[in-house]
Structure 1
Amino acid sequence: MSAEQQPVTAPKNSGKHLRRERAERKRTPGAWRGHAQAWTARAWLEIAVGAGLVIVLLIFILQNTTQTEIAFLPWSFTMPLGVALLFATIGGVLVMALAGGARIWQLRHQHARAAKQNRAAG
């Protein structure tokens, strides 16, 4: 094999500096604390956004109190328009969650089947 055809290999100590940097980060006392602070800040932000959405939803429901007749299959009843739209939204979210859950189950089933075949083959 000539020098031109020899395979290219990484030097023996390549990656050594990366391992050293990771070890130094692990020893840094503020590294984990920064992660915890970011997590709690995100949680507070999500709570604030959720509370804001609930307030907007309550205002919507309270402003749309006109009684509306609803007919569904053999049933017919009246309820405030805001509440009817809230129920319709909840129904849509449940249908979406059901479809998403079915897709997640399908992907996990495919992954488990592929892993089982790989174990059997190898």
Structure 2
Amino acid sequence: MSFQDDAARVPGSAARPDPGSSEHRERVTPPVSGHDRPTRTAALWVAVAVGLVVLVMLIVFFVQNQDMITVRFFGLEGTLALGTTLFIAAVGGGVLVALAGGARILQLRIAGHRRKKAVGGPGTGY
């Protein structure tokens, strides 16, 4: 019994044709050139373009929301533009999410370090 006979019996697989046969030559695809993959420069350009679009949208948001409002926070009171107030609130929320994510990453790194030390993995000196 040959490998091809075994492969024919496995569900979802097909026996491969002999490399010299015409059937094999028809299915061979030419190698893909490396020019189709995006480069780091292209990714940077896309990121800059997206960043500029976001900045333009923020400018439009600030211009359209210039109504002055009174803000009260823990006994403090002040008057700010609505757009500025909402932007500060959004940035504050982003900072809280970043702090929570950073704390979780730190927690996972410490746990991984402890696990590696307990097992005596590579780089521990044991």
Aligned length: 90
Match of 1:69 in 2: 70
The Cα RMSD (Å) is 1.9
2:105 matches 1:104: yes
Q: How does 1:27-106 map to 2 (within 5 A)?
A: 31=34, 38-106=39-107
Could you list the per-position Cα deviations for residues 58-110 of structure 1 after superposition, in whole angstroms to 9, with x for gaps in the alignment? 11011110001100001010100000000001000000000000000000000
Shift of 1:34: 6.9
Hey, which bits of structure 1, 4+ residues long, moved more than 3 A? Answer: none
Amino acid at match of 1:83: T
Give ranges in structure 1 of 5+ residues lacking alignment.
1-29
Q: Partner residue of 2:3?
A: none
Counterpart of 2:49 in structure 1: which amino acid?
A
**Residues in 2 aligned to 1:101 and 1:76: alpha-carbon distance in whole angstroms:** 32
Q: Separation in 2 of the partners of 1:111 and 1:75?
A: 44
Give the TM-score of the pair, scaled to structure 1: 0.68
Aligned-pair identity (%):
34
The separation in 2 between residues aligned to 1:38 and 1:77, in whole angstroms, is 49
Q: How far apart are the structure 1 equivalents of 2:63 and 2:113?
A: 49
Residue 39 of structure 1 deviates from its aligned partner by 1.2
Q: Deviations over 1:16-44 (max 9, x none)?
A: xxxxxxxxxxxxxx75x876x52111110
Structure 2 unaligned regions, length at least 5: 1-32
Q: Secondary structure at the match of 2:66?
A: coil
SS at match of 2:77: strand
Structure having greater relative contact order (Cα 8 Å, sep ≥ 6): 1
> Is it true that 1:116 corresponds to 2:123 in the alignment?
no
